[in-house]
Structure 1
Amino acid sequence: MNGIELILQERQRQIDVEGWSAEHDDAHNDGSLIDAAMAYLRNVNGYKISRWVDFLRQRTHVPNWPETWARGWYKPESAIRDLVKSGALIAAEIDRLQRRTENKG
């Protein structure tokens, strides 16, 4: 599977399994979807460091993680998996912005 397919699959999982529907995402008009995406992106280079994932899981503060989101939702895994999660969150934000534009027009 290529990167686009992985991101699409993750976005669909977020909708089907987690219940993060368009209506749910529309409520996140505070930039939190992008903040969460950035939190996952920040990890990617960190995977070069031994035990980086364990270190991050133990931290109480995660850079860029939305303050209004429960810390338990932050689940770093691997460089590729975190890129996929970030991409899916970016796609959700793009969709949210497009819906907002369509509703205004």
Structure 2
Amino acid sequence: MKPAITLINEERIRQAFDEGYTPAHDDQHTNGELAYAAASYARNHDALPGIKNGDYAPPKWPWKREYWKPTPDNRIRELVKAGALICAEIERLQRLEEKQNTNQTV
């Protein structure tokens, strides 16, 4: 069994290379979209079968429904996606902070 952090890192790499969600792409999401998406995957949707099965996206889902890709029979997979999205948001904020710090020292 792989450690959770390894699964999250592998998913983050997959998102970047297979889906094209690179740091430059992530930097465009400045209104909390990555965090909202992470929360959507982290939330247990058992009481809402339409969301759980992908018929429609959760209320706070930041993008088109077609990008909502739940894995209802694999809770770990959904949490891994959530973790990778949180990682993407943290990295985005770190890049922004670094850029702001660089601009202040110039």
Q: TM-score when scaled to structure 2?
A: 0.83
Task: Count residues in correspondence.
Answer: 98
**Which structure ranks higher in relative contact order (CA pairs < 8 Å, sequence separation ≥ 6)?**
1
Tell me the CA shift for residue 65 of structure 1: 0.6
- Runs (4+) of structure 1 moved beyond 2 Å? 51-56
Which amino acid in structure 2 is aligned with residue 70 of structure 1? Answer: K
Q: Which has the larger share of helix?
A: 1
Matched, 1:31 2:25: no
CA deviations 1:42-98 (Å, max 9, x no partner) are: 13x62xx6x947754223x413211xx121111111210000000000000000000
Which amino acid in structure 1 is aligned with residue 29 of structure 2? Answer: H
C-alpha distance in 2 between matches for 1:58 and 1:70: 12
Report if aligned partners of 2:51, 2:58 keep a CA contact under 8 Å in 1: no
Matched, 1:85 2:86: no
Q: TM-score when scaled to structure 1?
A: 0.84
C-alpha distance in 1 between matches for 2:52 and 2:85: 23
CA deviations 1:23-60 (Å, max 9, x no partner) are: 100000010000000111113x62xx6x947754223x
Larger Rg: 2
Which amino acid in structure 1 is aligned with residue 33 of structure 2? Answer: S
Which stretches in structure 1 are left out of the alignment for 5+ residues? none
2:98 match: 102
Query: What are the residue-to-residue correspondences of 1:63-74 with 2, within 5 Å?
Result: 63-66=59-62, 69-74=63-68
Aligned-residue Cα RMSD (Å) equals 2.0
1:11 match: 12
Report if aligned partners of 2:35, 2:89 keep a CA contact under 8 Å in 1: yes
Which amino acid in structure 1 is aligned with residue 55 of structure 2? Answer: Q
